[in-house]
A and B are shown apart, each in its own frame.
Chain A
Amino acid sequence: MNAPQLTRISTLLQNQEEAILSEWIRAQLGPGVFRSAVPPQSELHEQSKTLLRALRDALRQASSTDITSPEWESVRENLADVSRSQAREGSSPTETATAVLSLKQPLFGRLIDDCKDHPEEISREIRGASELLDKLGLYTMEVHQKGREQLIVRQQEEMQELSTPVVELWRGILALPLIGTLDSQRTQVVMENLLEKIAQTGAPIAIIDITGVPTVDTLVAQHLLKTISAARLMGADCIISGIRPQIAQTIVHLGVALGDVITKATLADAFAIALKRAGLSVTDNRTA
């Protein structure tokens, strides 16, 4: 069934496909559409052609102009492809949307011609077509935005995985070098990694090194304490190392209570304590 108000466009697309296509491509290549990177003409031709076909088929089959309905699936996919490929070429989302919207030029001229005998229908037809094309233009924007968001989420995940290694310094001594600010989400990952490693290695001591943590405010301290409490529940003691002078001052000024947690200035000092607890000692073999 045809979308009731868009029968004319559907027919136009069917009968004058070639003419509309070439005019649309000319409009896209014209001034004011692609400023940064103009895609190669052959590619543009191919893209526009498939998109126009999909649009034509959708208009013929679809019962409404709701582009989220399943009948519009192929149009949505085409638009998404166009949006993604043009984003890769370096086009801004505005440019992509404008390219889609420039289909209005060839279409509206023809619609007016087509409605010559029924002037009362012109405004209705134009409004319908305009609304539809606006939706399609906005959809390309949305795809662009979603692509960006996915990229950010993926990078965030990668960063989180990279930034929380748990290393075994010695049998039964774990170290957790923290780099970057601790937010609650990262604390969760850090905690899980540390506890898994404790369960796996059976280590009774873990050193949390905060040399790479830029600032320690009350929230970060709270997150550290949480991690330490959780490790203690599994029978492992924690030592905090890598406290820089400024950080020590901040901790005291903020009145952060680290409780009875052992703290050391350097990882080396913390490691020495851990070795001592484990009943091990390091000797210097050079001196006789």
Chain B
Amino acid sequence: MPEPALDTAAAPSHPILDRLQAQFANDVRETSLYRGDVSANIAPERLLDVARFVRDDPALRFDMPIDVTAVDYLGREPRFEVVYHLYSTEHHHRLRLKARVPEDNPSIASVTPVWVGANWLERETYDMYGIRFTGHPDLRRIYLYDEFEGHPLRKDYPKEKRQPLIGPGSRRGESVGDEHPYSTDLPPPPRGKGMLGADLMRVQVGPSHPATHGTVRMVVDLDGETIVNADVQVGFLHRGFEKECESGFYYQAIPYTDRLNYSSAILCNVGYCMAVEKLLGIETPPRCQFLRVIAGELARMADHFLGIGATALELNAFTPFLYLLESRELVWDLVDAICGARVTSNYVRIGGVSADLPDGFAELARAKIAKALKLLDDAEKVLTENPIFRARMEGVGAIPPEELIAFGVCGPVLRAAGVDLDLRRAQPYLVYDQLDFDVPLGTRGDNMDRYLVRLVELRQSARIIEQCLGMLPAGPIDVDDPAIRWPGKSKVFGRMEELIDQFKLVTEGCKPPPGEVYVGTESANGEIGFFLVSDGTGKPYKCRARTPSFSNTQPLARMIQGRLIADLVPTFDMINLIGGECDR
């Protein structure tokens, strides 16, 4: 039974914790400052008060819910720990709130009245751990289906467990007992609520629809062509990423992170490996950091090329789609040359990267990126001022920035609304503090701004790569520690000690000390964060991925409410939902 040994011996002092303790002296049970992560364990009864306080207090201002999840400490009482990650867009600091709930009555107050974006996150936590959030407006399962038995991320849920089949003759529609009191079936649309007393029409968009890339189902109630209500349902690509990570060594999860955001896989690799490195408390050599930035920015370019191209395609502009896919192909040639695969790159390693740049990479990169940007110019000439494109994009999908923040939206969608939040600038990691680049902000927050922000980001990524290629230092690409990164093969082939190191590392994995960390990095669509809990063994006790597509898709229903059904398509596209990342 793992007991997370956080350094709680001496109560750590931190302005955020001091402020919290001054207000809630008796309800803050435990605080910690492990690896720089500010964390406070609070009494579950006072959760809502604490949440309101940390949101409204001018010195704290935690206005953005980054993540809600739980950790199952099986065998310990109280068994579950609900974990809230918060971010302040004003002060750019982070806080982790934790509250323990017992096994026999796993319920806690919902924080949706404080942060509306906690809605889906709490639904996911309910789905995966069976924790009931009292006062939640809509506590349905989000990823799994009604008939699913049990809660898969609980530690006593076996990975191999089979589930009942659903289909004709199954238990669909029946009450599934006390275990799942909430059905995912929607109530029928209210009758006679449309124009002139007509009935609303319910239309299912998706899960497989030509206008949606990625499998997502949108149930829209229409009055004529106006969307009255929309329910966005995700989870069709759910494959148990977190359970899978918990059952393998740390290094074995890296290929799985490729499959989160499959159009910018390297950025997910980087986020995961940085989280493990923080857990281990190591720093990677400078050359490795530059390589990660180069590869990551290439991936960001590929993602934006696809995002803009797919939007153009779904608005019937087929030609720019072809130009942009050609651009992306050129970028992927570079990714391929670095790491050997276009999509499933599997490039970054814990404490290093898998390979150095190939010979002559700088010239190749300059030539290919110049060609890709030329094609981008062409696509831009076709799209940006085209009246049809503008009519579909301008003024569509905008909601106020405060609301976006409360939903936990990040990345280009948030920056298009004029909020200066780019983690590469706000909390520089790797070598981003040595680089010179612009962070584009929009003014109106509509789809046009989201498109224009992505255009500028593409060119800035190219600029970052150019700078990195010029500044690339010589030196090792891995940490020199045989307990973390396996030794060079020439030593393994010839020497006994290194051979033993290799055997130990492969069969036991690297072993971070017990503790928990959260690392958020800026991926192409926003903040991708990994929350890792280690119990001192070679496998993560808990590996949670906070993905931008999930939080960005949540306000989609709100964005398209009251708009025409045709506005659904560009809004959905500019959110750039990546199914693998949203559904994990």
Q: Are A and B bound to each other?
A: no
Could you tell me which B residues sit within 8 Å of A by CB distance? Answer: none
Could you tell me which A residues sit within 8 Å of B by CB distance? Answer: none
